[in-house]
Chain A
Amino acid sequence: MTIENVLLVSAALFAIGAYGVVSRRSLITVIMSLELMFNGVVIAAVAFSRFTPSAALLSGDPLTAEAIRSALTGHAFAIFVTAVAAGEAALAFALVFAMYRATESVEITDASEMKN
């Protein structure tokens, strides 16, 4: 398990999600694929936190508590992205329901017409 392996898994998950976003027609599966892409990005952030030292520690300056904790910036980033993704998912499903009520369909091709 090296940083290259982890980043490759993250890139693969992102690419699978991107394929899903482009190739699926149902809005629900498109949102699912979006969530997969979010996860791919977060894996990369955690991998950087685990395998690479932060710049503040490499500089050779005297140690500070901030510099030591900056090794976990990737974890904080991961938590923020997760929170944003949760809010996004809730809003996205509300939009899908609103569209389903208006057009009786959840297909992306019907969403381009902007009727009702």
Chain B
Amino acid sequence: MMEVSTLTTIAFWAASAMTLGFAAIVVTQRDVFRAAIALAGSFLGVGILYFVLSAEFVGVVQILVYVGAISVLMAFAVMFIQDIASGSRPAQGRLVGVAAALLIFAALAFAVYNTTWTSMDELGTDQVAALTEGFYEVGEGDDIQISLTEPTDDDAVVVENGGVLVDSTGSVGVLLVREYMLAFEIIGLLLVASLIGGLLLMRDRKESEPEKGSASV
């Protein structure tokens, strides 16, 4: 199921080359501002990769959050800090870095090629049909039946779902607010906490200093 077309394969390799090429520029470029621009290119390549992997919603989130927000944050950070003229010099541990990166890559590649991955072909025909062509939820409450064909009973409560692999966006939305409801809420809390933490760290201390001084005198 889900044969990979030649065009998809070409798009995959192009996006991979873009991602890895820009990533290599990020870690070798001395000019930090150029590194930030290359980072945006790398993020864009990853976004295209998600589209190729038929994860459209993740791809859109990637482009909105990474290319749109984090890259701009990086560019602002570079512009705020004047020290940047000196560039990002490599640390002493450059050889250690190359060795560590090669070791990590070798270990991961070894694991990838020595694992027998289960394939989508091992699924039954019903499962494949539900994943690619969609399914119907018949009934309500605790008594919900899954039907692959449109139910004929007019009285039944029917919810029509697209195939999750073909139309992933809607299913991801349902997944986020059903199975992962708690995690979804906690992520919201985490974002608020990091926002407040960021504001506290960035606060100009000079305003609060006179109070401290007058209290101690």
Contact = CB atoms under 8 A, between A and B. Distances in A.
Contact of B27 (A24, A51, A74): A24
Interface residues of A, number: 84
14 contacts: A3-B117, A7-B108, A12-B105, A13-B46, A25-B88, A28-B32, A28-B81, A42-B58, A53-B118, A63-B135, A69-B174, A72-B171, A76-B175, A108-B91
Contacts of B12: 1, 5-6
Contacts of B65: 82-83, 86
Contact of A12 (B20, B62, B77): B20
Interface string A85-101: 11111110111111010
Nearest to A4: B112
B171 A19 contact: no
A43 to B, nearest CB: 6
A114 interface: no
Chain B's interface size range is: 35 or more
B77 A25 contact: no
Contacts of A111: none
Given A25-B90, A35-B39, A52 B120 contact: yes
A14 B104 contact: yes
A75 B172 CA distance: 7
B55 A15 contact: no
A31 B195 CA distance: 18
Given A4-B112, A23-B96, A93-B77, 20 more contacts: A7-B108, A11-B112, A16-B23, A19-B100, A20-B27, A23-B94, A28-B84, A29-B35, A36-B27, A46-B49, A52-B119, A53-B120, A65-B161, A68-B130, A72-B168, A76-B176, A91-B201, A100-B81, A106-B83, A109-B91
B209 interface: no
Interface of B: 4, 8-9, 12-13, 16, 19-20, 23-24, 26-27, 32, 35-36, 39, 42-43, 46, 49-50, 52-55, 57-58, 61-62, 65-66, 69-70, 73-74, 77-78, 80-81, 83-84, 87-91, 93-94, 96-98, 100-102, 104-105, 108-109, 112-113, 117-120, 122-124, 126-127, 130-131, 135, 137, 144, 146, 161, 164-165, 168, 171-172, 174-176, 178-180, 183, 187, 190-191, 193-195, 197-199, 201-202
Contacts of A71: 131, 164-165
B74 A28 contact: yes
Given A23-B91, A82-B61, A87-B190, A46 B161 contact: no
Contacts of A68: 127, 130-131, 135, 146, 161, 164
Given A63-B135, A106-B83, A57 B123 contact: yes
Contact of B20 (A13, A46, A90): A13
A61 B113 CA distance: 30
Nearest to B131: A71
Nearest to A63: B146
A72 B170 CA distance: 11
